Chains A and B, each alone.
Chain A
Amino acid sequence: MPASFTLMPTAWRPLALSALLLVGVTATGHAQRALEGQVLSLADSAPLPQVRVAMVGRPALRAETDTAGYFVLTDAPTGAFQLIVDRLGIVTDTVDIAAGVSSVTLYVAIRVQQLAPLVAVARPVARERFEELAQTSTLSLDKEDIDAAPAVGEADVTRAVQLLPGVVAKNDYTSALNVRGGESDQNLIRLNNVTVFNPFHLGGMFSTFDAAAVSGVELLTGAFPAQYGGRLSSVLDVRLRTGRPDRIGATAGVSVLSSKVLLEGPIGGTGATVLVGARRTYADAFVKAVEDDPFTYYFADLVASVSVPLPGGGSALLTGYWGRDVLRFPFLDPEPGRDGIDFGFDWGNRLGGLTIVQPLSDAVALTQTFGLSGFSAGLDLAPDVLNVDNDVRHFASQTDLGITAGAHEVHLGAAFESNRITYGVDSRALEQDLLSLGYRPSVLAGYVDYAWRPASWLILRPGLRVEHVGGGAAFTGVSPRASAKVFLSENVAFTGSVGRFYQPINSIRDQELPVTIFDFWIGADDVTPVASSDQGVVGVEAWLSDTWSMTVEGYTKSFRDLPVPDPNDDPKVRGDEFVPARGYAWGVDVLIRRHAGAVNGWIAYGYGKALRRSRIGTFAPAHDRRHTLDIVVQTPGPLGSRMSARWGYGSPLPYTGVIGSWVHRDYNVEDHTFEDFDTESIGSTINAQRYPHYSRLDVSFRWSFRMLGGRWQPYLNVLNVYNRRNVFFYTFDYEDVPATRGGYSQLPVLPTLGVEIAW
């Protein structure tokens, strides 16, 4: 039975609810502010980039200076507080910020390296988090880390995240993340608090986030707190930079992949800032210049953020994103007297978000988030032969009331989420409506997250999230969450977290394929269950010195009602698109990291095991990698460069072997005969085979100098330095005698270069 949509009699409700929430915000008091500033060298007033600025006692409130030394803290309290300023190479300092001040200039002393033992030692953000936060499985990368990670063409946010422990990348061609045995659709990926669907270009080869516009990312690899819902495995928070407050600035970049430009600056004298970035690949233009090839592929994206200080110390952050991949080529050439048929496929995201932080007093703050996010894809054989449409529309709002009182910090919140997912396949030429499918799950949630430090050696963080899924599902789930941290000393702590998680929308794309263009999202309804997961994490975190840390965490996860695609689904039957599966995962992640110093980086090791059970059978998912090791080093390099090197190893991943092939014949009705049509592989037991081991060494060099009034940063990336032929996938030929196996490798040795110029 084809699914159909009812019109939206309740379509206004999300907007109305948001409006009410917004009224609630504006009707309450104002007690937070945006604090902007610039960090300069005490000796020569030179701007200092990549300096970490954080609030003492509240490490989550932090920022990092950009290349011009500027930073913005969007939700700083209105009252007086202290900022700690640190970075390798400067003298760490603590600065008093008076009440009501919205802009500061901080001068810090340059630290002479040889005198390092005699001066104050930098305190990384991770150290602040270690001391203040009871939350396992939290990893962060700042802009410096992202820029330094070698990537194809240019820095890539999710490629950098793939180097963290607990994360498995199935191959070089996908930026998708499989976190601690979870599927790639189980990651809540957010850009400035707004959910992003399918955040990839070129079938997952590149992430949609332009690294030049990103200030940092935070990855929660499991058992995340009660503020987060809707996904089972991880939360990836991508934070955009805010524009510089002092003057107009511009950054341009050219790489083998794309050209991009980024503009930023203040908006009049309002205190508001804006940042706008645009990027486009030009491989299609290059190909057209070299030869007359009508094949077209490109992607483009546009990102913007506007930071506005609000009266009373509050702040508002507006975010926008648009991205599109376009693939076109002639499917059938035109001939005299006949039009051609063109193949067109385009897909992409768009989103808009607003985050308002409003202090109600020194101890109370209200954070309001609204987000509209969409993904659409269209495939057509034009004109009118075939048209395939997929549209995902997501609206979310969340209200968080944060109350701090001594050793207690409570967050109370409510969230509403509306989703509209449609699929349509039709042929106007054949007058056929081939598929019409839709899902409309909505989620209403409330939560409490309570952090309590009853003693200096103990932090407890219980939480509870209650979610009701509407839109046909009529599901109510209660998700208890709890974390604890026990300090054995000031440098060593045991941590633990447990929680239950629900996911009302899931992707039913074939997770076993090495690359897919995008996820096919379906939502919970009367026939589609809400997926769920129970998770537990225990670990130990130790700071071996001021800059060296080590984290060891063990985890276990169970999954229920995961949707595994059902190859036998009938387009006229709703609910048979998937087979519900159970899943299990457990493992150990180790992260040894040097946070600062001329030579810094990390060693990330993950041991994991994952399993799925459904009526298809019991099998290892395609990302079931037993051992994953990434060694990332950033160090001074030759010719005055900053060098990064990454060596990655992955133990064999599973794949489905092929045991033969058969002739799938075409049947001729008129003749009552079969004829040879296609020879198809016959798969064996699902994922019972394993590819060979994987390893890859990448290096990256980045130089920085001033020229023509700008700061130039040319860079050179060399991927797969020793040109290892890591297997991408195999092909089998059983029609040869003897039978043979071929296949395709992943990225070969690949040097790419580019330059970024900032004015």
Chain B
Amino acid sequence: MVTRRQIGACVALLLIAQAGCELEEVVIPVGEPVVIVQAVMRPDRAQQFVVVEWSFTGLADPDELTSVQVPSGSGPHLPIENATVRVVNLDFPTDPCGDTTRFTFTTGDPSVPKLPGVYWAPAGCPTLRPGDRMALTVRVPGGSVVTGQTRVPGMAGATLRVAGQTVAFGGPDITLFNRDRDTLRVDVEPIVGRLIQVEAKRIDDESAAAGSKLFADTTAVAIPGNLPDILPGGGGEDIFRAGRRYALTAALSDTNYFDFARSRNNPITGRGFINRLDGGIGVFGSLTSLSTVVEVTGDFDDPREGRYLVQGVAAGVDIDAELLLYLARSIDSTAVSGFLSGTWMMGGPFGPEGGFAWVDRDVNRLSIDGTMQGDSLVVLVPGPGGMAKGPLVVRALLQPGGPSTGVVIDSLALGRTAELGDLSFEKQ
């Protein structure tokens, strides 16, 4: 979301940066600690959590602290421990979870990480129904109390229209579209809620961080397939790359989350963020979502792009596959992606004598990544465990207009022969 003032302020700061002379830095007293609370209640998720931490005051250097996803990777920078965190469903006095749901440091469930500053509710609690008002109370050691309320959003459904197809979110369908020609149109049918957040995240690579996000203060949004991600953090990369598969998530949020997502404090005045909490800063919002999967193809614009027939024998396995190869239209234009279909290979089970065997493997539009430097192609083909677990490497020199050859390499050779065999590449 872009507001009028944000636009003006951004441009003004741009000009200021051109004009000013920096002042010498001076040490200032420690700031005033403020309780920061960030929580988004999800009726479509079993496990709710609340993040409670202190603001930075000059007492701790966050560079020396963990800074990743919370709570999947770590807790917050300056966690507040031993806080009392409670949520009440004001519209459901007979909530089977009880009058009050207490969020605690640990739930007893080993799959839920214990992270300082992250407070968990029992699975399935509190009950979150569309339209319910939820009240949060966080009491931190020392007496500070933070409170907030959210109204739980709900949607009757969401649909995706692209390339003449209409697909309901939440179903098993995989939707194919051409990023260079098609536009995805997402429609949400709200019961109650405010903001649509549409998220596209690659699903073939577990190392992929956050996906691209789009926000719309309506119930529908269109996403051109070739749109770059220009939001902060997006880095100008394309939202969709051909040869990849994405989870497309349509979310509907309450107004608290809407304000949290759209507003920022001005660096000069320290004001601008729309804070709906009392006694602290942050968000107590709620959001519900549905997902679907899209598979992205594209036009072949570069002569090196195209459909290749990959054949050969490697480590005794007959390989006969088709590779759809795309160059990225992104900042790194040497990146390639694609789909591999047909008979490929993978490491087999250890035999009775403990030997290692390679066996054939049928793949169907397996998403691959790689680079293309000139005509030199390097492709990583993920194994059944994903990209992080021993991908095979294919190196090839693509000859324009003629047959090309390559080699497949075991990336985790561990003393064995790395080169597994030769491959031929024939452009179709």
- Interface members, chain B 38-61 (any A CB < 8 Å): 38, 40, 42, 45, 47, 51, 53, 55-61
Taking the complex as formed, is A518 at the interface, i.e. its CB lies under 8 A from any CB of chain B? Answer: yes
B33 at the interface (CB under 8 A from A): yes
A736 to chain B: which residues have CB within 8 Å?
Answer: 58, 61
* Contacts A431-B221, A661-B55, A742-B22 given; does A669 touch B2 at CB 8 Å: no
In chain A, what residue has the closest Cβ to B250?
A669
Alpha-carbon separation in the docked complex, A345 to B264 (Å): 22
- Judge whether A114 is part of the interface by a CB distance below 8 angstroms: no
The answer on a CB contact under 8 Å between A660 and B331 is no
Hey, which chain B residues are within 8 Å of A512, CB to CB? 269, 271
- B249 / chain A contacts, CB cutoff of 8 Å: 669-670
| Least distance between B102 CB and chain A CB atoms (Å) | 20
Cα separation A678 to B267 with both chains bound (whole Å): 11
* Contact B270–A656 (Cβ < 8 Å): yes
In the complex formed, the residue of A with least CB distance to B23 is A743
Cα A556 to Cα B77 in complex, Å, equals 51
- With a cutoff of 8 Å between Cβ atoms, the chain B residues found around residue A655 in the complex are 269
A290 on the B face (CB < 8 A): no
User: Do residues A668 and B199 form an inter-chain contact, with CB atoms below 8 A?
Assistant: yes
Known interface pairs A660-B31, A670-B211; A680-B4 also in contact (CB < 8 Å) = no
Residue B227 is within 8 A (CB to CB) of chain A in the complex: yes
Given known pairs A664-B273, A676-B67, A676-B68, the reply for A670 and B20 (CB within 8 Å) is: no
- Please judge, given known A-B contacts A668-B199, A682-B265, whether A744 and B7 are in contact too, CB under 8 Å: no
> In the complex, what residues of B have CB within 8 A of residue A652's CB?
none
Q: Which residues on the A side are within 8 Å of B77 (C-beta)? A: 663
- Contact string against A for B residues 3-33, beta-carbon threshold 8 Å, 1 for contact and 0 otherwise: 1110111011001100111111111111111
Residue B232 lies at the interface, judged by CB distance under 8 Å to chain A: yes
Q: Which residues of B contact A429 (CB under 8 A)?
A: 222, 224, 227
Return chain B residues, CB-CB under 8 Å to A733: 25
Q: Does B230 contact A (CB under 8 A)?
A: yes
Contact with A along B184-203 (1 / 0, CB 8 A): 01000000000001010100
| Surface stretch bound by A, among B212-220, B380-388, B404-412, B414-422 | B212-220
B58 partner, pick from A423, A674, A738, beta carbons under 8 A: A738
Contact of A660 among B8, B23, B55, B236 (CB under 8 A): B55
- Knowing A338-B330, A735-B63, say if A431 contacts B25 (CB, 8 Å): no
Q: Which of A657-711 contact B (CB under 8 A)?
A: 657-684, 686
Q: Give how many A residues have a beta carbon under 8 Å from the other chain's beta carbons.
A: 99
**B197 contact set on A, CB distance < 8 A:** 669
Is B148 an interface position by the 8 A CB rule?
Answer: no
Which of B25, B34, B199, B329 is within 8 Å of A669, CB to CB? B199
How far is A470 from B143 in the complex, measured between Cα atoms in Å? 53
Q: What separation, in Å, do the CA atoms of A372 and B289 have in the docked complex?
A: 51
In the bound complex, CA of A381 to CA of B217 (Å): 19
Please tell me if B238 contacts chain A, counting CB pairs below 8 Å. Answer: yes
Q: Please measure, in the bound complex, the distance between the C-alpha atom of A570 and the C-alpha atom of B3, giving whole angstroms.
A: 10
- Is there contact, CB below 8 Å, between A682 and B230? no
* Cβ contacts under 8 Å, A636 to chain B: none
CB-CB under 8 A from A743, the residues of chain B are 22-23
What chain A residues lie within 8 Å of B259 (beta carbons)? Answer: 568
Q: Does A98 sit within 8 A of B, measured CB to CB?
A: no
Residue B76 interfacial (CB < 8 Å): yes
Shortest beta-carbon distance from A169 to chain B in Å: 15
What residues of chain B lie closer than 8 Å to A390, measured between beta carbons? 4
- Give the residues from 362 to 389 in chain A that come closer than 8 angstroms, CB to CB, to chain B: 379, 381, 385-386, 388
Residues of A within 8 Å of B330, CB to CB, are 335, 338
The answer to whether B72 touches A673 (Cβ under 8 A) is: yes
B321 within 8 A of A: no
Q: With A345-B11, A680-B265 in contact, is A567–B274 under 8 Å at CB?
A: yes
Cα–Cα, bound, A140→B59 (Å): 55
Report whether B23 and A682 are in contact in the complex, using a CB–CB cutoff of 8 Å.
Answer: no
Of chain B, the residue at the smallest CB distance from A656 is B269
Counting CB contacts under 8 A, is B138 at the interface?
no
The B249-272 residues at the A interface (CB cut-off 8 A) are 249, 251, 255, 257, 259-261, 263-272
The reply to whether B28 and A740 form a contact with Cβ atoms under 8 Å apart is: yes
Counting CB contacts under 8 A, is A639 at the interface? no
Residue A727 interfacial (CB < 8 Å) = yes
Chain B's nearest CB lies how many Å from the CB of A757? Answer: 30
B binding-site residues for A, Cβ under 8 Å? 1-5, 7-9, 11-12, 15-16, 19-34, 36, 38, 40, 42, 45, 47, 51, 53, 55-63, 67-72, 76-77, 185, 197, 199, 201, 209-211, 213-214, 216-218, 220-224, 226-228, 230, 232-233, 236, 238, 247, 249, 251, 255, 257, 259-261, 263-274, 281-282, 287, 289, 291, 301-302, 327, 329-331, 333
- 6 examples of A-B residue contacts, CB within 8 angstroms: A341-B236, A671-B72, A680-B264, A681-B267, A684-B270, A741-B28
Apart from A379-B11, A684-B270, list 11 A-B contacts with CB within 8 A.
A435-B4, A517-B8, A662-B281, A662-B282, A663-B36, A670-B291, A672-B40, A679-B56, A686-B271, A728-B16, A738-B28
Interchain residue pairs A-B with the least CB separation, the first 10: A683-B270, A739-B58, A744-B20, A338-B329, A660-B31, A431-B222, A681-B270, A680-B265, A743-B23, A660-B55
